[in-house]
Amino acid sequence: MTPEGRRLRSVGDTGVVQPSEEDLLLATARGDQQAFAALYERLAPMIHGVVRRVVRDPAQSEEVSQEVLVEIWRTAVRFDPDRGTARTWALTMAHRRAIDRVRSEQASRDRTQRVADGQHTRPYDEVSEHVEVGIEHEQVRTALGTLTDLQRQAVELAYFKGYTYREVAELLETPLGTIKTRMRDGLIRLRDALGVAT
């Protein structure tokens, strides 16, 4: 594909020209929130699909997908268009993050099994882990409280209950485009509330 072909892509018969995913990702790297919103709409369903195939669990898949989208926003400056497409870069990140989650879950199950088998573990390690998880859950609950009602409802339905964007739109009786916008804005707001560095 020529550089011009990669930068611009014609959409349908309308003659409307849209920026490529590569251009959107490069603009995101410069802090352009509108570019991130457009990139989010294009990539979020594919990212969730990749993660869901690896992680399987719906709730964890949504959580990992959200982490990947925040990571794309945070690390967009690392994208090099000469080394591949924006889609490949994002989906590779999603796949790696999903595998990390599966390995982490397996390690957690192994630790639990060792405890059940009577192997010695220091009790304060388990306590500190529970405290850390509790703090993280409280931070997420507090961050969700900063969202508007529609943002919070959309994010909770999609990311914690496993509904698709279209199903969320139907459940909330709200146009699909509005749901996508509210979810994108909600994720950006959550990122800021959780103090994720950009």
Among candidate residues 157, 153, 147, 141, the one with its CA nearest the CA of residue 187 = 147
Summarize pLDDT for 85-121 with one digit per residue, the tens: 999 999 999 999 999 998 988 888 888 887 777 655 4
Q: What is the pLDDT at residue 193?
A: 72
Q: Which two tokens stand for residue 194?
A: 């959780």
Integer Cα distance of 49 and 162 in angstroms: 12
Integer Cα distance of 160 and 60 in angstroms: 8
Please give the share of the chain, as a percent, with pLDDT higher than 90. Answer: 42
Contact 150, 182 (CB under 8 A): yes
Which has the minimum average pLDDT: 22-31, 58-67, 153-162?
153-162
Summarize pLDDT for 144-190 with one digit per residue, the tens: 777 788 777 887 787 777 778 888 888 888 888 888 888 888 788 77
Domains along the sequence of the chain with CATH: 1-121 (1.10.1740.10), 124-198 (1.10.10.10)
pTM of the model as a whole: 0.52
- Helix then strand then coil, in percent of the chain rounded to 5, is 75, 5, 20
Q: What is the pLDDT at residue 127?
A: 56
Integer Cα distance of 49 and 60 in angstroms: 12
